[in-house]
């Protein structure tokens, strides 16, 4: 049986529950796959070094072997903070106005992908399956092919793929996309992102798309398909039943007394629609003065990517908005918004989800959004809460029984909150059951198996591919 080599920007070493290790569903699923396939997880350690040496730190945690490298300060600035998060991230989330194009960013991105390829290639055996993850490592497959790897190599994009009319604003966009043709299988979260990729291939590269999803450009044939990622529903149900979750649930319920709890949980990011969400909640308070003092909105938004200045702006904006809304509507014994800038372990979040009668998950654009699925999985089957979900999240294609809203419309958000508060229990149960069936049927194990099975079934990677091009001249 082939080994599985997982390559991602960062490596999440498995942690024992007894050691207090709270991990995301993706990490749990990949760790399980690596155990099954006797695999290896390779990526950046998160640490910096004065000079890149290519030294690999091999560790074994909970039956999973990890291999990590340290990067130089310049690497992190140009590859991670630069090209990945100041160029690709905003562009791929349709924020062309925030995308920054700097020659040094592209050079650093290419350099780090080369360093990944140089260090991981000697660890890969001829029969291994190689699975590369996300926008940080788009050119890695071509870099591995240049080093004569003939393995089956797959790539999965966890974020949206932008429309052709936006992607062409990226300098050297064809060169970036051409590097993807070195993969044998390319996976996207939804059919929408897949269709956008197809459209680019046909319009910009003169390629064709066959009925079975094979993309043909010149002499290259690459499979591409949608593989919507899920959560580990069974594992998350166990988290809800834990003592930690029960205590978190009770803590939140006590703090709000008899008020209706609305919850939002997001990384602090401009793609999550937090400012628009706050304004939608404000419109609800304006239009439903009888609900003032009866609802409590908890927004958990731990900061991230502090080195990128656009994240400083969104934090300042939310600080101002939450303060203004609280100043306008608060009473002596009631604060409309509780805005918390810190993260919580998964088991505590599970308890918070269970205590909330409404979840506001309203990103402006999201590849999938697993918070929506976690909220549904955390609910009491006998008395579930209501999910209000952006129609621009990938999860909206699976969770059709959520209250779908346009996150740019404060009126739609306001109306959805009112509808959720008034929704009869029988309707809440019906909607929850339909969503839960999808979450249990297409969970993270299903996703992982679907991708790996598809990768195993494609033809061998070609040993002779065109020399990879630089992303910057």
Quickly state the pLDDT bin for 446 (edges 50, 70, 90): very high
In this prediction, residue 465 has a pLDDT band, given cuts at 50, 70 and 90, of very low
**194 within domain boundaries:** yes
User: Which tens digits make up the pLDDT trace of 164-186?
Assistant: 999 999 999 999 999 999 999 99
d(CA 151, CA 144): 9
Long-range CB pairs of 314-320 (<8 Å, 24+ gap) are 314/268, 314/269, 314/270, 314/274, 314/275, 315/268, 315/341, 317/275, 318/268, 318/274, 318/275, 318/278
For 193-305, strand residue ranges (E) read 208-209, 214-217, 220-226, 260-265, 295-300
In 333-424, alpha helices (H): 346-355, 370-377, 410-422
Query: pLDDT value at position 259?
Result: 96
Please determine, for residue 471, whether its predicted confidence score (pLDDT) is greater than 50: no
Shared domain check, 261 and 186: no
User: What is the pLDDT averaged over residues 405-417?
Assistant: 98
359 φ, ψ (degrees, to nearest 5): -115, 130
Shared domain for 246 and 366, answered yes or no, is yes
Same domain? 210 vs 238: no
Asked whether residue 140 falls in the same domain as residue 249, the answer is no
Are 261 and 394 found together in one domain? yes
258 inside domain = yes
How far is residue 250's CA from residue 224's CA, in Å, rounded to a whole number? Answer: 46
11 and 144 together in one domain? yes
Q: Is residue 469 part of a domain?
A: no
- CATH classification at residue 348: 3.40.50.2000
Say yes or no: 167 and 260 in one domain: no
Q: Chain-centre distance of CA 448, in angstroms?
A: 15
Phi, psi of 272 (to 5 degrees): -85, -5
208 and 332 housed in the same domain: no
Residue 431: the pLDDT is 98
Query: Does residue 58 fall inside a structural domain?
Result: yes
Residue 113 lies in a domain: yes
> Is the residue at 467 inside a domain?
no
Confidence at residue 306, expressed as pLDDT on a 0 to 100 scale:
66
Q: Which residues, other chains included, contact 154 with Cβ-Cβ below 8 Å and sequence gap of 6+?
A: 129, 130, 131, 132, 183, 184, 185, 186, 187, 451, 454, 455
Q: How many domains is the chain built from?
A: 2
Annotated catalytic residues are: 158, 366
Q: Is residue 451 domain-shared with residue 426, that is, in the same domain? A: no
Taking Cα atoms as reference points, which of 22, 17, 27, 18 lies closest to residue 350?
22
Please check whether residue 465 lies inside any domain of the structure.
Answer: no
Q: Under a CB-based contact definition with an 8 Å cutoff, are residues 461 and 149 in contact?
A: yes
On whether both 167 and 315 belong to a single domain, the answer is no
pLDDT at 16 over 70: no
Report, as an integer, the average pLDDT of 382-411.
Answer: 98
Range(s) of the domain holding residue 182: 4-230+446-457
Same domain flag for 272 and 155: no
pLDDT digits (tens, 9 = 90+) for 238-291: 899 999 999 999 999 999 999 999 999 999 999 999 999 999 999 999 999 999
Domain annotation covers residue 252: yes
Q: How many CB atoms lie within 10 A of CB 331?
A: 9
Average pLDDT, the chain: 92
Q: Are residues 192 and 238 in the same domain?
A: no
């Amino acid at each position: 049986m082939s080994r599985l080599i997982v390559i991602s920007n960062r490596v999440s070493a498995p942690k024992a529950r007894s050691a207090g290790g709270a991990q995301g569903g993706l990490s749990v699923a990949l760790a399980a796959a690596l155990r099954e396939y006797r695999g290896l997880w390779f990526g950046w350690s998160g640490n910096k070094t004065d000079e890149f040496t290519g030294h690999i730190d091999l560790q074994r945690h909970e039956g999973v072997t990890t291999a990590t490298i340290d990067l130089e300060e310049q690497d992190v600035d140009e590859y991670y903070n630069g090209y990945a998060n100041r160029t690709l991230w905003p562009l791929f989330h349709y924020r062309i106005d925030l995308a920054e194009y700097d020659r040094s960013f592209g050079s650093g991105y290419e350099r780090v992908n080369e360093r990944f390829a140089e260090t991981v290639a000697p660890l890969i055996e001829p029969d291994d399956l190689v699975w590369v993850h996300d926008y940080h490592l788009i050119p890695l497959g071509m870099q591995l092919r240049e080093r004569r790897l003939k393995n089956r190599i797959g790539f999965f994009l966890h974020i949206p793929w932008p429309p052709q009319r936006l992607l062409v604003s990226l300098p050297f966009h064809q060169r970036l996309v051409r590097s993807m043709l070195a993969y044998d299988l390319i996976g996207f979260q939804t059919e929408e992102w897949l269709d956008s990729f197809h459209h680019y291939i046909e319009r910009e590269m003169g390629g064709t798309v066959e009925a079975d999803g094979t993309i043909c450009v010149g002499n290259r044939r690459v499979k591409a398909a949608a593989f919507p990622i899920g959560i580990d529903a069974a594992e998350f149900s166990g988290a809800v039943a834990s003592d930690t979750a029960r205590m978190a649930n009770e803590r939140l319920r006590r703090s709000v007394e008899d008020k209706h709890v609305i919850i939002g949980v997001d990384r602090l990011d401009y793609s999550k629609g937090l400012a628009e969400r706050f304004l939608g909640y404000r419109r609800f308070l304006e239009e439903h003065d009888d609900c003032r003092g009866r609802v409590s909105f908890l927004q958990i938004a731990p900061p991230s990517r502090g080195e990128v200045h656009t994240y400083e702006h969104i934090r300042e904006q939310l600080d101002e908005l939450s303060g203004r809304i609280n100043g306008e509507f608060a009473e002596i014994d009631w604060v409309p918004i509780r805005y918390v800038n810190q993260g919580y372990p998964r088991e505590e979040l599970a308890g918070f989800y269970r205590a909330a009668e409404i979840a506001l998950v309203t990103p402006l654009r999201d590849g999938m959004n697993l918070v929506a699925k976690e909220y549904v999985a955390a609910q009491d089957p006998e008395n579930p809460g209501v999910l209000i979900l952006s129609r621009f999240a990938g999860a909206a294609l699976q969770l059709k029984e959520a209250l779908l809203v346009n996150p740019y419309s404060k009126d739609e958000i306001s109306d959805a909150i009112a509808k959720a508060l008034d929704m009869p229990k029988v309707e809440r149960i019906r909607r929850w059951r339909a969503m839960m069936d999808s979450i249990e049927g297409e969970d993270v194990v299903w996703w992982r198996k679907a991708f790996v099975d598809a990768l195993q079934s494609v033809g061998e990677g070609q040993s002779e591919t065109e020399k990879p091009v630089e992303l910057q001249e």
